[in-house]
Amino acid sequence: MPAILLAGTPGTGKTRVGLILARLTNYVFTTVTWLVLENRLWSSYDPKTYSFIIDENLFYHYLEEQLPAKRMIIDTHWVEPFARIRSQVEYCIVLRTRPDQLWRRLEARGWPPSKIADNVEAELVGLIAREALESFPDRVYEVDTTNKRPADTAQEILEAIRARKRTTKPIDWLSETPEQELTRILEMLARARGGGHGITPDNTLPRA
């Protein structure tokens, strides 16, 4: 049965929203990390980043074998592998959060500044949303979770799926963020990296 992907930068609310959505739809909620660890779909462990390195061949094989038999909502910030099995993906929901709010959420988790910066910058430029739209151009729906409760977000997603809604105008934080606030965010990114640069959705990808 087709799966629902719940994609987004870490901190956008995927897990909390996904658990509620699973109750509303009677789907099974899981995450890419859980799938990798529970099914040993990893090749090695990196002690520097405290991360398991995903064995992409094993992961692809698992998806091809298991998705047709299960009703799943999958929490992920790694959309690319699912494009190889497009027929098994019913919808790709992308959760978005205003960059300044995302920074505060990740900071509250105790993440190091450099990792926060990587993820906030990815959200600022819409990296995961762009990847989703390239992989599933006819079945992507974006939701701004900045000022929404998880239950309200889940309900919006459910209604969007039932109505077969899709994103026609992607969220663009670069143009929607006031100039003064955008400048402040860019300065925070520069300080967090000590003047470095680069964009990745999570500095442990492809890992779990």
For residue 83, what is the domain's CATH number?
3.40.50.300
Please indicate, yes or no, if residue 80 is contained in any of the structural domains: yes
Range of the domain at 114: 3-193
pLDDT at site 38: 92
Q: In whole angstroms, what separates CA 81 from the centre of its chain?
A: 13
Please indicate, yes or no, if residue 51 is contained in any of the structural domains: yes
End-to-end Cα spacing for the chain: 24
Please indicate, yes or no, if residue 172 is contained in any of the structural domains: yes
Neighbours of 175 (CB within 10 A): 7
pLDDT at site 49: 67
Retrieve residue 33's tokens.
């990390």
Split into its structural domains, the chain has a count of 1
Please indicate, yes or no, if residue 43 is contained in any of the structural domains: yes
Please indicate, yes or no, if residue 200 is contained in any of the structural domains: no
pLDDT at site 151: 98
Please indicate, yes or no, if residue 11 is contained in any of the structural domains: yes
4 — phi, psi (to 5°)?
Answer: -110, 120
Q: Model pTM?
A: 0.88
Q: How far apart are CA 129 and CA 140, in angstroms?
A: 9
Neighbours of 35 (CB within 10 A): 20
Please indicate, yes or no, if residue 202 is contained in any of the structural domains: no
What is the rounded (10 degree) CA torsion for 58, 61, 63, 67?
-140
Q: How far apart are CA 52 and CA 69, in angstroms?
A: 26
Per-residue pLDDT in tens (0 to 9) along the chain, 208 residues: 689 999 999 999 999 999 999 999 999 999 999 999 999 999 998 887 677 888 988 998 888 888 888 899 999 998 988 998 888 899 999 999 999 999 999 999 999 999 899 999 999 999 999 999 999 999 999 999 999 999 999 999 999 999 999 988 899 999 999 999 999 999 999 999 885 443 333 433 344 4
Sign (positive or negative) of CA dihedral 71, 153, 206, 130: positive
Please indicate, yes or no, if residue 201 is contained in any of the structural domains: no
Measured at the CA of 148, the angle between CA 97 and CA 125, to 5 degrees, comes to 10
What is the rounded (10 degree) CA torsion for 172, 175, 181, 185?
50
